[in-house]
Amino acid sequence: MTMTTASWFDRLRVERAVWVLDGLLQDLPRRSRVARRRALRQDLRSATDEVGAVSAVRQLGDLRQLAASHLAAEYGNVQPRSSWTRAATAAVLFYVLLSWLLEAGTTAFRAGILTGQPRATGSFSWNGIPYLIDDVGFTFLDGASTSVGGAWHPLAYILLLLVSVLAGRLWRLRPGHAPAPQVTT
């Protein structure tokens, strides 16, 4: 066994493989993911000294399959699994949707006022979206406007939480919901 100093490119190959696998393991608990990342990095560095970085990374095989085996070892072969990534993505998309609805509604209401009275002056109110978005008050002065309001109702927050839990299948994270071990004969 010859100990050689790995080049920068070899180190980058190893680190890329480690971080790609870490990205595929985002649904694992942090401690477990960090431990697996450290073990893989140490194993790859040892293998790099023996057979080279290209060969060491190639011998890992498909990183998606490796990640799937790590997830199966942690959670069992239950499909589909819970996913914090999907939950966060759903929460962001729900937020963007409600923000877009608020912006579209206020823009349309403002345009409607200005279409009827291009040099409008006074106070106007848009009723928002019932149960989701609060009223928006507009103050016009010679066609220029300011607006106040548009807060989310409590139901919007409840829906945000519900969408996140459903999209991420977060009920599968309950301690009592652990899958039974698979027995093979």
How far apart (Å, rounded) are the C-alpha atoms in residues 44 and 51? 10
Q: What is the mean pLDDT of residues 152-162?
A: 95
Position 31, amino acid: R
97 and 71 in one domain?
Answer: no
What percent of the chain has a predicted confidence (pLDDT) above 90? Answer: 51
Res 112: pLDDT: 95
How far apart (Å, rounded) are the C-alpha atoms in residues 170 and 163? 10
Q: Indicate whether 149 belongs to any domain.
A: yes
136 and 71 in one domain?
Answer: no
pLDDT tens digits, one per residue of 140-156: 999 899 999 999 999 99
pLDDT tens digits, one per residue of 18-28: 999 888 888 78
How far apart (Å, rounded) are the C-alpha atoms in residues 129 and 108? 13
pLDDT tens digits, one per residue of 55-82: 999 988 898 888 888 888 877 776 667 7
The count of domains in the chain is 2
Choice between 15 and 70, residue whose per-residue pLDDT is larger: 15
CA dihedral 86, 90, 96, 99 (to 10 degrees): -150
Specify the pairing of strand 122-126 against strand 144-149. Answer: unpaired
How far apart (Å, rounded) are the C-alpha atoms in residues 85 and 154? 24
Respond yes or no on whether the N-terminal peptide bond of residue 29 is cis (omega within 30° of 0): no
Among the candidates 75, 108, 125, a domain finishes at 75
Residue 2 has pLDDT above 50, yes or no: no
127 and 108 in one domain?
Answer: yes
Among the candidates 75, 98, 113, a domain finishes at 75
Q: Indicate whether 175 belongs to any domain.
A: no
89 and 159 in one domain?
Answer: yes
What number of other Cβ atoms are within 10 A of residue 114's Cβ?
15
Q: Which residues contact 159 (CB under 8 A, 6 or more apart)?
A: 94, 132
DSSP code, position 134: -
103 and 157 in one domain?
Answer: yes
Q: Indicate whether 62 belongs to any domain.
A: yes
Among the candidates 75, 100, 120, a domain finishes at 75
| The residue to which tokens 């971080």 are assigned | 19
Q: Indicate whether 111 belongs to any domain.
A: yes
67 and 21 in one domain?
Answer: yes
> How many residues comprise the chain?
185
165 and 88 in one domain?
Answer: yes
Residue 3 has pLDDT above 50, yes or no: no
Domain range enclosing 47: 8-75
> If you average pLDDT over every residue of the chain, what do you get?
86
